[in-house]
Structures are given as C-alpha cells and as structure tokens.
Structure 1
Amino acid sequence: MKIEQIYTGCLAQGAYYIESNGEVAIIDPLREVSPYIKKAEDNNATIKYIFETHFHADFVSGHVTLSKQTGAPIVYGPEANPNFDAIIATDGQEFKLGNITIVALHTPGHTMESTTYLLKDENGNNHAIFSGDTLFLGDVGRPDLAQKAASMTQEQLAGLLFDSLRTKIMPLADDVIVYPAHGAGSACGKNLSKQTVGTIGEQKATNYALRADMTKEEFVQEVTDGLLPPPQYFPLNVKMNKEGYDDIDDVLERGTRPLEPKEFEAIANETGAIILDVRHQNDFVKGHIPRSISIGIDGGFAPWVGALIADVKQPILLVAPEGREEETIIRLSRVGFDNTLGYLKGGFEAWKHNGFEYDTISSISAEEFKSILDKEEVPVFDVRKDGEFKSEHVVNAHHTSLDYLNDYLAEFPEDKPFYVHCAGGYRSVIAASILKSRGIHNLVDVAGGYAAIKNAGIPTTDYVCPSTLK
C-alpha cells in the first residue's frame, strides 16, 4: 500500500494518491491531472476511482478531466447531485482497491454531501481517514458556505458537523492517521495547523472542536464565532465543480497565445480584459502598463486573484516573467479563472521598448517614512488582515484590509499623499495597483511593509485605535 499526499502550498490544499496491488485512487485532485496519470503509468498501475470529499469552494478540482482521460468513475458521498455521471455512495459503502478497502463515511456539516473516506489496510484494520473539509488539523470546516444550497442556517449546519464528528470520526482509534484537504492559509477554516498530517489522538488532545466535554451549543458557538465573509469566488468554484468545466488543455491553448504589444493593447481595449501583471512587486513598482493589476505569481497568487477579481469569467490578459506563462494560466484555472486571452510577448520590457505608455508607483523606504512621520502626521493605510492589524500597527493608522479594499475607495484622501503598507510589501503593491486602476494616484508605498517599519523604529501600538476603519 502506498499513500502520497500531493500538497500545493499556494492553495494550502492536499490531494492524495493511494495505490494497492496495481490499482490507484485519487482523492480531491487538482485541475491539472497529468501528474496523477504519469505517476500511475510509472508504477504500472491503473487509476480505478476518483474520490471527491465534497463540492469544493476554494479550488476547481480535476475530477471531471481525470475521469474523462482515464475512464475511472467519480465517487461522491450521499446527497451529492452533480450534473455529470458519478457514483453517489451510500453511508458505509465499501470500495475495493487492490488489497485495501475505502469506506465512505457521510459526515455532513461543512456541506451536506461532505464525506470522509476511511482506509482499511490489507488486514482490515482502520489505517487512515481522508477527511476533506470535515476535520482539519487544529480546526474543522466552516459551516457557513453551504447555507443557501442546504436551505439551512450556519448554526444548523454546525450542529450537523458536531454530530458527524462525534459519531463517525471521534470513535476511531487514536492511531488512525488524519489526512485533511487543507492546512494553514486556507479560507475554509479559522485556525488550521501548519502541519498537514496528524492522528485522531492528537486532534482529540489539541483541536478545540473535539473536546470530549463539549456540548453541541458550545460547539456551534465556537465554530461560528469570528467567521469572516468567504471570498467572492467560492460559490463560482462550487458551481464549476458541480456542473463541469472546460478541459485544462483547452484553457491552456486559449491562454498561451503570445501577443505583440500593439495586438495586446487592441485586445485589451476591445474586450475590457483585466491586465494581470504577475511579476515580482518590485518590478511592478518600477514600471507597469497603466491600470494593470499586480498579483505576483510567487506570493499567495491564486487565492488573491479569487478574492479580488469578482467574476471567474472575467477576460484576462497576462504580463508574466518569461517562461512562466503556462504556469500562471494553470494556477488561474485552479480557482476557476479560465478566460485568459493571451500574454504579452516579450513581457513588460517589450511594451516599454516599443514606446508604449507606462506607469510607476511612488515608493519609499521605512527609514524615509520615519523621517516624514517625525515631522508631521500623515494618512497611513494598513492593508493587512484584521488579526494582523489588531495585534500591532502603526499609531493612528487606518485599517483597510486588502480583501475589502474596493469597499473603502471613498476613504482615501484625494488632495494629499497617503501611505500604504502591508506586512512585507506584496499586498501593499496589489492594493496600490487597484487604487491606481481606480484613478487614485496620490499614494506612496512603504517598501518592506510592517517588518521594515518596526526595524526603523516607527511608533506602533497593539490596540485598535478609534480612527480604525474596517
């Protein structure tokens, strides 16, 4: 028996390759399926089943394409109703895979169809669970994403999740391994661990939601407390996972179209496409196409695209580092953005070399920022997340979290410079690019973010001051 976790850091997502006696099961595959197929071929094995723990909200699974290319059936748990052929397992239904058995345990609560897959080894012993978004390490799945589809409140779904955990998962032996669908960084839970593999016993001892003396009322209160609104793209990804989508090869064929600067500009004007610049933020600051949006490929790329671009059908034109165009298109497709129309051939340097207009972002060091603050009080906008800001921030700074930046455009001064920072520089440049695309140009980015600000000795406070905005 072989179990391999295939973890994708930018999505904080774990897919699983399970093999026994020449037969393979894939659990929650990513959109690009060729690595799974190649791995099975290299091992002279055949993909027999594709298991989906639920209709994912934070990424588009590769289940439809993988089934099409291998002939392996897709398996969902009870109450799933996809628009394509699939096996809808009953609670407790067993699936033989070589010398092992995979059992579907219906665990509703995160969603109604959520299912945990229990793996029994060659001797019939419970070996591991693939818990999807039902149980994470350190947390459980948020119960607010499926309210509309289930015609239930988040409190009712949380109550179902309490029952699922205590009747299906907690009775398992402490040494049963837990393989979750996500780790720290995912928006599918609140307090996910950085660890990606654990055991039932460890979770009983450390996970707040598995306390032995916890009442259902306490569980519902604690699980629903402090939930932030989900990213806008979540329901759109659920729809794609449930109804199907274009093959990744078709997406790549459309997107990997090299465009000369003049053609690139013409298509942008004709289609209303967003120009998405995925170069490093430092390069974007020095020069970029006017009104383009910066979301660097080497940061939390896909989740930020999903959070900040409202519609997965939005046409996109790419400015990418040379040789990373295909990678960018694949990573966009993982969160459902399939409508890439092409990329700028030769990158930004070709645009600049051909004499096209370009823009820059005013940027200063933390030391320069300190010298300004020593002389006068200026507007400072912190675009970090709520928890980061509440923990510590520049005295009298306003808080306009990047996630909700578009809701606060009216808060930025029109008649004087203001200063923007994040933790390290990645998010503040994203924010600056969005503001400039909205016609707000009197901003200054503080390079290096809050880390540099602290090192420069700029006064900070650890409480939320009255001037704080959301």
Structure 2
Amino acid sequence: MKVEQIYTGCLAQGAYYIVSENEAVIIDPLREVKPYLDRLEKDQVTLKYIFETHFHADFVSGHLDLSKKTGAPIVYGPTAQPDFEAIIAEDHQIFEIGNVKIKTLHTPGHTMESTTYLLIDENGVETAIFTGDTLFLGDVGRPDLAQKATDMTQEDLAGILYESLHSKILPLDDSITVYPAHGAGSACGKNMQKETVDILGNQKKTNYALNQPDKESFIREVLDGLTAPPKYFGMNVALNKGGYESLDDVMNKGLNPIPAEDFENFAEETGALILDTRSPAEFYKGFIPNAINIGLKGDFAPWVGSLIVDVKHPLLLVSDEGSEEEAITRLSRVGFDNVLGYLKGGFSAWENAGKETDEVRRISPEEFAAEFNENSKIIDVRKPSEYIAEHIDNADNRPLDAISDWVTSIDDSEHFFLHCAGGYRSMIAASILNSHGIRNFTEIEGGYNGIKKTEKLSTSDFVCQSKTL
C-alpha cells in the first residue's frame, strides 16, 4: 500500500493518491489531472474511484475531467446531490481497493455532505483518515459556508460539526494518521498549523476545537473570530456541484497569443480585464494602463478569486514569456476559465510597439523613513490580525480583501504611503487604485518587514498574532 499526499502550496490544498496492488484511488483532486494520469501510468495501476470529501468552495476539483479520462466513478458521502452521475455512499459503506478498504464516515457540519474517509490496511487495521474540511491540523472546518444551501444558522452547523467529531472521529485510535484537505494559509479555517500531516492523538491534545468542555463552548470558540469568506467561494461550490468546462478546452481558448497592436482593441471589444501576472518588482516600472497586478509568484489564484470575484469575467493576461500556461492553469483551479488570450511577446512587446504605459512610484524603506513626517498618511493593507500584532503608529488599516469597499473613499488630493508585509499585496492595491484614477500615493518596497528594520519609525508594541485571530 502507498499513500501519497500531493500538496499545492498556493492553495494550501492536499490531494491524496492511494495505491494497493494494481488499483488506486484519488481523494480531492486538483483541476489539472495530468499529474494524476502520469502517476497511474508510471505505477501501472487502474484508477478505481475518485473520492470527494465535499463540494469544495475554495477550489475547483478535477473530479469530472479525471472521471472522463479514466472511467473511474466519483464518490460522495451521504446527502450529496451533484448534477452529474456519481456514487452517493451510505454512512459506513466499504470500498475495496486492492488489498485495502476505505470506509465512509459521514461527518456533516462544515457542509452537510462532508465525509471523512477511513483507510483500513491489508491487515484490517484502521490506519488513516482523510478528513477533508471536517478536521484540520489545529482547527476544524468553518461552519458558516453552507448556510445559504441549508435553512440552518452557523450555530446549527457548528453544533452538527461537534457531534460529527465526537461520534465519528474522536473515538478512533490515537495512532491514526490525519490527512486534511488544507493547511495554513487556507481561508477554510482560522487557526491551522503549518504541518500537513499528524496523528490523531496529537490533535486530541493540541487542537483547540477538540479540547472544548462542551458543545456550547465548541460552538462559541469555533465561530469566534471568523472573517467573511472570500466572495468567489459560492461560485466554486456551484462549479463543483453542477459541472464545468473541460480544462483542455479552457487551455485551448486561453493560449491565444494577441499581438501588441491588437491587444488594446481586443480588450475594449470584449470588456476583458487585463491581468498582469508579473512580479511587483517588474510591474511598478511600467505596465499597461488600468491593468491589475496579481503576481504569479505568490498566492495568485486566491487573490484573483477574492478581488475579481466573478469567475465568468473575461480576462487577458500579461505574463512573463513561457508562464502563460501556468497562469491559465492556476486561474482554472479557482474557476476562472474565461481567459481569452495573452499579450504576445510580453510587456516588452507592448513597449516596443510604442504603446502608452503607466507606472507606480515605489521607494525603499530607507527612503520612506527619510520622507516620513508627523503629517504623513499611511495605508496598511495587511490583514487586521497582522495590523494588530504590530504596525506603524497612526497607520490606517485598510485590508486588501476589502479594497472594493474602501477605494471610493480615498481622497486623491492628499498624498499617502502604501504598504503590506512584503510588497506583494501593496502592489496589487496600487494597481487597483491606479485603475480607479487614484495616483497620489507612494508604495513601499519590502513592506512592513523592511520598514521595521530601519528602526527610525515609531511602531506599536508586538502582540502575538495567535491571540488576535
């Protein structure tokens, strides 16, 4: 038997590949299925089942394409109602894969169809659980995402989650390995550990949610401090439940090179948003006016989902040459399938064609310290928990994920400095501000991490972030 965790850092997502004898299963696959097909071919095994722990909100699963390419059926837990053919397992139903077995444990609460899969080895020993978003390392799945799909409150769902954990998971042996669907950085939980694998016994000791004295305490603590989920989550659920376009077709449409001479007209005719995926260090020096910068080398897909929101919005890409396919793939992971093409030759082709360009004023932390005075206005676009932990005195915290709510309130007649933690998010904000005609600002390279090294500015006392979640 072989169990492999296939972890994708930019989504903080874990898929699982299990082989026994000449058969395999995959749990919660990503949208692009070629890596799984390559594994199957290399191992010379047949994919018997595709297990889905629930209808995912933060990414689009590869279950449909994988099933079409392999013939393997898709399996959901009890109460799931997908709009396509699938096996809807019963609670405690057994599936055989080679010499091992997988047992379904219906664990509603995060969503009502949420299911944990229990792996039983060749000797009949229960060895691992694949918990989806029911149980994370250090946390449990947020119980506020399924409210619109049910007539329940988040308190109701949290109570159901408590019962699922205490009746199905906590009675299992401490030695069982826990394989969650997500790790630190995912918006599906608030207190996840950086580790991606643990044993259940350690989680019973260290996971705050598993150490509450009663259901009421569990409900209160699990719901405390939850921020609003990203706005694209509901659209991803709909795609996972209702179906989506083949990734092959999405790729064929998106890999459409558009010459610089035609790019601007194409954008105007289609109403496409120009998404510049270059690094902040390249973007600020020059970019197509009104382009939005979300760097590919970062939490690209989640930020696209959070800020663009509408997965059907047409997109045109400006990317480093050779990275277009990666950008389209990562966009597809969160359901953004409507890429119409990319700038042929990259941004240098635009410059060489003599087209209009724009830029962002960016300065170093040392230059910021020299320019700063008591009348300076500062906008800090980090998360509230980061801001509370430590910030420049009198800085105004305006989180990036809420920029659509505050961008229209900015007074462009008053200059301000703009920063995040390291420069990635602040350049996204800078590009959005520019697209709204707001230009009287200066972005700080290296963000707060660089600013505090200057030791020339007054900052708040440090507060551990774990206390601010």
Q: TM-score range by the shorter chain?
A: over 0.9
Check conservation: 1:381, 1:418, Cα contact below 8 A: yes
Q: Where does 1:305-384 land on structure 2 (aligned, <5 Å)? A: 305-374=304-373, 376-384=374-382
Question: CA shift at 1:37, angstroms?
Answer: 1.1
TM-score (norm 1): 0.97
Q: Which residue of 1 aligns with 2:267?
A: 268
Q: Where does 1:139-154 land on structure 2 (aligned, <5 Å)? A: 139-154=139-154
What amino acid is the match of 1:217? E
Q: Which residue of 2 aligns with 1:453?
A: 451
Q: Which residue of 1 aligns with 2:467?
A: none
TM-score (norm 2): 0.97
Q: Which residue of 1 aligns with 2:6?
A: 6
Q: Which residue of 2 aligns with 1:31?
A: 31
Q: Where does 1:423-442 land on structure 2 (aligned, <5 Å)? A: 423-442=421-440
Q: Where does 1:106-121 land on structure 2 (aligned, <5 Å)? A: 106-121=106-121
Check conservation: 1:256, 1:326, Cα contact below 8 A: yes
Structure 2: how far apart are the matches of 1:223 and 1:106?
A: 20
What amino acid is the match of 1:72? A
Question: Is the partner of 1:460 in helix, strand or coil?
Answer: coil
Q: Which residue of 2 aligns with 1:233?
A: 232
Please list every run of at least 4 consecutive aligned residues from structure 1 whose deviation after the TM superposition is greater than 4 angstroms.
none
What amino acid is the match of 1:87? I
Residue 70 in 1 paired to residue 74 in 2?
A: no
Counterpart selection for 2:409 from 411, 424, 427: 411
Q: Which residue of 1 aligns with 2:466?
A: none
Question: Is the partner of 1:129 in helix, strand or coil?
Answer: strand
Structure 2: how far apart are the matches of 1:421 and 1:462?
A: 19
Question: Is the partner of 1:441 in helix, strand or coil?
Answer: coil
Structure 1: how far apart are the matches of 2:438 and 2:96?
A: 60
Residue 57 in 1 paired to residue 74 in 2?
A: no
Structure 2: how far apart are the matches of 1:463 and 1:132?
A: 34
Question: Is the partner of 1:103 in helix, strand or coil?
Answer: strand
Q: Which residue of 2 aligns with 1:45?
A: 45
What amino acid is the match of 1:172? L
Q: Which residue of 2 aligns with 1:292?
A: 291
Structure 1: how far apart are the matches of 2:454 and 2:411?
A: 25
Question: CA shift at 1:60, angstroms?
Answer: 0.0
Cα deviation per residue 1:329-352 (whole Å; 9 max; x = unaligned)? 000000000000000000000000
Compute the RMSD of aligned alpha carbons. Answer: 1.0
Structure 1: how far apart are the matches of 2:103 and 2:150?
A: 24
Structure 2: how far apart are the matches of 1:49 and 1:278?
A: 36
Cα deviation per residue 1:72-114 (whole Å; 9 max; x = unaligned)? 0000000100000000000000000000000000000000000
Structure 1: how far apart are the matches of 2:47 and 2:37?
A: 8
Check conservation: 1:260, 1:344, Cα contact below 8 A: yes
Structure 2: how far apart are the matches of 1:342 and 1:206?
A: 48
Structure 2: how far apart are the matches of 1:44 and 1:456?
A: 57
Question: CA shift at 1:416, angstroms?
Answer: 2.5
Question: Is the partner of 1:223 in helix, strand or coil?
Answer: helix
Cα deviation per residue 1:339-375 (whole Å; 9 max; x = unaligned)? 000000000000001000000001111111111224x
Structure 1: how far apart are the matches of 2:407 and 2:438?
A: 9
Question: CA shift at 1:463, angstroms?
Answer: 8.2
What amino acid is the match of 1:218? S
Structure 2: how far apart are the matches of 1:16 and 1:313?
A: 29
Structure 2: how far apart are the matches of 1:410 and 1:52?
A: 41
Structure 2: how far apart are the matches of 1:377 and 1:252?
A: 50
Residue 15 in 1 paired to residue 15 in 2?
A: yes
Cα deviation per residue 1:205-257 (whole Å; 9 max; x = unaligned)? 1001111x620000000000111000011000000000000000000000001
What amino acid is the match of 1:362? R
Gapped runs of 5+ residues in structure 2?
Answer: 464-469
Structure 2: how far apart are the matches of 1:462 and 1:63?
A: 48
Check conservation: 1:6, 1:14, Cα contact below 8 A: yes
Question: CA shift at 1:413, angstroms?
Answer: 2.3
Structure 1: how far apart are the matches of 2:446 and 2:200?
A: 41
Q: Where does 1:119-198 land on structure 2 (aligned, <5 Å)? A: 119-198=119-198
What amino acid is the match of 1:369? F
Structure 2: how far apart are the matches of 1:241 and 1:78?
A: 16
Question: CA shift at 1:266, angstroms?
Answer: 1.1
Check conservation: 1:281, 1:425, Cα contact below 8 A: yes
- Number of residue pairs aligned between Structure 1 and Structure 2: 462
Check conservation: 1:100, 1:122, Cα contact below 8 A: yes
Counterpart selection for 1:422 from 417, 420, 423: 420
Cα deviation per residue 1:261-312 (whole Å; 9 max; x = unaligned)? 1221111011111100000101000000000000000011010000000200
Question: Is the partner of 2:284 in helix, strand or coil?
Answer: helix
Structure 2: how far apart are the matches of 1:462 and 1:361?
A: 31
What amino acid is the match of 1:40? L
Q: Where does 1:213-228 land on structure 2 (aligned, <5 Å)? A: 214-228=213-227
Question: Is the partner of 2:372 in helix, strand or coil?
Answer: helix
Structure 1: how far apart are the matches of 2:376 and 2:167?
A: 57
Structure 2: how far apart are the matches of 1:207 and 1:162?
A: 13
Gapped runs of 5+ residues in structure 1?
Answer: 465-470
Question: Is the partner of 1:393 in helix, strand or coil?
Answer: coil
Q: 1:137 to 1:463 in 2, by over 3 A?
A: closer
Check conservation: 1:390, 1:462, Cα contact below 8 A: no
Structure 1: how far apart are the matches of 2:438 and 2:247?
A: 37
Structure 2: how far apart are the matches of 1:43 and 1:66?
A: 17
Q: Which residue of 2 aligns with 1:468?
A: none
Q: Which residue of 2 aligns with 1:395?
A: 393
Structure 1: how far apart are the matches of 2:440 and 2:404?
A: 17
